[in-house]
Amino acid sequence: MPIEMPKGLPFSVDTWSPASDEKRHHFLTHAHWDHMAGLGAHFSYPVYATHLTKSLVLHYFPQLDESVFVEIEIGKTIIAKDPEGDFKVTAYDANHCPGAVMFLFEGTFGNILHTGDCRLTKDTVKNLPTKYIPNKKDFENIAHLDYVFLDCTFGRCSLEFPTKNAAIKQVKNCIKMHPNAQVVYLSCDLLGQEEILIEISEEFQSSIYVDQLSVPDCFQVISHIAPEIMTNDSSARFHVIGFPKLNERAARKFSEARNNNEQEPLFIRPSTYWYASHEDAENLSLTDAERDEFGVWHICYSMHSSRHELEWALRHLKPKWVVSTTPPCLAMDLAYVKKHCFKTRVEADDPIWKLFNLSSPEKCATIDWASNGNSEVVECTNASKSIVEDGKPDRKRKICSPLKQEVTLFGRARLGLEETQLWEKEEEEGENGKKECNVLTMEKDLEVEIVSVEPFIEQPRSLPVNISLKDKELQVDHEKMEMTLNGNKNRGGRSIDMNESLKKLYRSRNVPVPRPLPSLVELMSSTKRVRLVLDPVKEE
């Protein structure tokens, strides 16, 4: 999924917004709709993409002119001319869908691999330059990836997905197990699943009915890739059907078949989301098709990396920093990142400064803090803050952590937020002359939540083993919220509304803002027996 690129970079990737308009170069990894959102309104020369991706985009957005695109071939390197310094860009197969690529950027900003959406199998990783794959014999003489913007769609899923070829074989076997099914409905209308249709057409020597009105995107893609497998004859055995309302349509077709005393049709959905979201996922078969309660057969066909594949790829590429491009999955959920991407000292020559267009300090910046009693909120001493100039006059940012744990300087990349929610602490002088730290949010111009100083929280014994990092963060945030509410009472004894930063924090995680607690005075004066009435939170 698309994210805004840091302000220190001259390019954007899969992002089409007012912020990306300020970039001088624009890159599109593939033609899935979530990566093209806003393209029709926010585009400017040059837009780099593969030939197939460009063709699909021009079909979807007829108002665009072909002249705004610069075609880039897989395995080829181009030089992007830029006033702040030319940089190299190389496209590599992303193993995701036709036309999908990863972009490798090499310039004064460092070496950056943006995977777009990808499936990082061994063959996919081995196609990358060997100079970025460390080996024990020549470890010191190789190049290093400074950043990887990584597709972590299934970063929290422990299932080991079958290969694409193995999954396609399962689809064929499922069809063979139902020889009497007169009609086979294939939910393969997404760009990236046409390989399944090509294999089925070849295996069963049959054309496939693709309705241009019901599945227009699939019709367009097949027309470009394999028009010979399509037919406009609706009496064909194989039909492509869209995923929306699949269960309802399956139920209707089953009912029609029973009423007409016909053999039930066969519905097959090759996808991974059903497996990843299933409450009993660990007990599902990944080697054979699974039938759900609606009569639809599922095959685990994935165009994204499994957690195991992500870990393997990172261990071989050994990047310095990792940023997840797919909320709500976090790069910090990955073992490699927990082990290798934590820093409490950022050297003056670290490329992180250039990434955010920050002036590097003369000496290394040390991130440290001291705890404040039993509270998780930490007071920052003068010796414990990293002061970073951000290029604006009369302004300094002091990065420190709200928790007494180690920190990472990468964070969650979110799509579609008007402003990025970042933890930042700034000193203010209290009434007693003491320096106090207040939690603030970063302003809108910081486009990626990399300097979010996201805490790493160890597993406490009181929490379940399988609890997610995000859930643990919310528990800590809830404690802060309670401290804020309990520490601010008005004359009537009622808790006042929580501050705006906490409200934004809850909303940024799609969690309802908690209601304020009723006051003791109101409860005592209530005439109703043992009934608590919680006042609703005031609308902003």
Return the residue matching tokens 């399956």: 250
Contact 64, 40 (CB under 8 A): yes
Contact 230, 222 (CB under 8 A): yes
Q: Residues 355-374: pLDDT tens digits?
A: 666 665 655 554 433 333 33
Which DSSP helix (H) or strand (E) runs through 88? strand 87-93
Residue 122 burial by Cβ neighbours in a 10 Å radius (0-12, 13-18, 19+): exposed
Sign of the torsion formed by the C-alpha atoms of 69, 74, 78 and 80: positive
pLDDT band at 150 (very low <50, low <70, confident <90, very high): very high
SS3 386: strand
Sign of the torsion formed by the C-alpha atoms of 421, 422, 426 and 431: positive
In whole angstroms, what is the distance from residue 537 CA to residue 513 CA? 8
Which of 509, 103, 120 is closest to 330 using CA atoms? 509
In whole angstroms, what is the distance from residue 76 CA to residue 90 CA? 6
User: Mean pLDDT over residues 235-259, rounded?
Assistant: 95
What's the number of CA atoms in the CB half-sphere (13 Å) around residue 414? 16
**Residue-level pLDDT at 367:** 44
Return the residue matching tokens 């003068």: 382
**Residue-level pLDDT at 406:** 30
Q: What are phi and psi of 477, to 5 degrees?
A: -65, -35
Q: Residues 166-220: pLDDT tens digits?
A: 999 999 999 999 999 999 999 999 999 999 999 999 999 999 999 999 999 999 9
In whole angstroms, what is the distance from residue 375 CA to residue 483 CA? 10
**Residue-level pLDDT at 380:** 34
Contact 170, 287 (CB under 8 A): yes
Strand duo 290-291 + 321-324: pairing: unpaired
More confident residue, 285 or 500: 285
**Residue-level pLDDT at 329:** 72
User: For residue 261, is it left (φ>0), alpha (ψ between -120 and 50) or beta?
Assistant: left
In whole angstroms, what is the distance from residue 338 CA to residue 335 CA? 5
**Residue-level pLDDT at 341:** 81
Q: Is the pTM of this model over 0.85?
A: no
Q: Residues 290-344: pLDDT tens digits?
A: 999 999 999 999 999 999 999 999 999 999 889 999 876 778 889 999 888 866 5
Percent of the chain with pLDDT over 90: 52
Mean pLDDT of the chain: 75
Reply yes or no on whether the pLDDT at 420 is more than 70. no
In whole angstroms, what is the distance from residue 229 CA to residue 213 CA? 18
Count of H helices and E strands in the chain?
Answer: 15, 27
Angle, helices 164-176 vs 194-203, to 10°: value is 50
